[in-house]
Amino acid sequence: MTENYGQTVKVLFTEDDIKHEVNQLGKRISFDYRDKDLLVIGVLKGSFVFMADLVRQIDLPFELDFIKLHSYKGVSSSGNVNFDLDISYDLEGKDILIVEDILDTGKTLKKIYKSFSQRNARSIKSAVLLDKTSRRTENICADYRCFEIPDNFVVGYGLDFDERFRALPYIAKLD
Ligand code: IMP
Ligand code: MG
């Protein structure tokens, strides 16, 4: 237990746990995309820390960009997902890897897949830091993931609760 923003949090994954998983994931992606035209697309804001660490473990030439969708307010999702920031250039022939902080109901990732699949990309896959499988309402799964977690609200390493806790170097459960 540690104290942040006056709130007690329980560490689930330490900096070292995360580093190990992200390094492994970077190696897998480097191998799987060796003959491809990789475009890594981070979903703001939650993925920004994961994205920064992950791309530095990809030992290939690639491009990167960001998109942003309407985010969570507090602990419950509105279920309504819309683009705030999109990619405007041609995706033809690109092998897209979407990088998300957490796969929860799956609504966000579903919306992204639907949008990108209409734009002639050669392939679309996803890499998520965290996967809350038990919360899924959409028929979707991630191609790569670092950790599966139970139905807890988590913060840190990019993830927020009302915009706080994003800069914690570990992933923690809110009490
Ligand atoms: P989905 O559309 O329900 O899959 O929600 C995905 C988004 O919800 C993530 O990108 C997060 O921004 C947010 N989210 C879901 N669970 C958590 C959590 O435990 N902590 C922080 N954000 C979360
Ligand atoms: Mg997010």
CA 47 to chain centre: 5
Tell me which of 150 and 81 has the higher pLDDT.
Answer: 150
- pLDDT per residue as tens digits for the range 62-93: 999 999 998 555 555 556 778 999 998 999 99
Q: How far apart are CA 36 and CA 122, in angstroms?
A: 9
Checking if the pLDDT of 100 tops 80, the result is yes
Question: Which amino acid does the sequence have at 114?
Answer: K
Pocket residues: Cβ below 6 A from ligand 1: 46, 71-72, 77, 100-108, 153-155, 159
Checking if the pLDDT of 167 tops 60, the result is yes
Q: How far apart are CA 103 and CA 31, in angstroms?
A: 24
Q: Catalytic residue positions?
A: 104
Average pLDDT over residues 86-108: 95
- Whole-number Å distance, alpha carbon 102 to ligand 2 midpoint, is 6
Q: How far apart are CA 39 and CA 62, in angstroms?
A: 6
Q: Is 2-174 a CATH 3.40.50.2020 domain?
A: yes
- pLDDT for 39: 98
Q: Which ligand 1 atom sits nearest the alpha carbon of residue 104?
A: 4
The two three-digit tokens of residue 61, written as one number: 């030439």
Average pLDDT of the chain is: 93
pLDDT exceeding 70 applies to what percent of the chain? Answer: 95
**Dihedral over alpha carbons 48, 125, 19, 5 (to 10 degrees):** 40
Q: Atom 20 in ligand 1: which residue has the minimum CA distance?
A: 154
Domain assignments of the chain as residue spans, ordered by start: 2-174
| Strand boundaries in 21-170, DSSP class E | 38-44, 63-69, 83-85, 95-103, 123-131, 144-148, 154-155
- pLDDT per residue as tens digits for the range 14-51: 999 999 999 999 999 999 999 999 999 999 999 999 99
Q: Atom 11 in ligand 1: which residue has the minimum CA distance?
A: 102
Q: Give the pTM.
A: 0.94
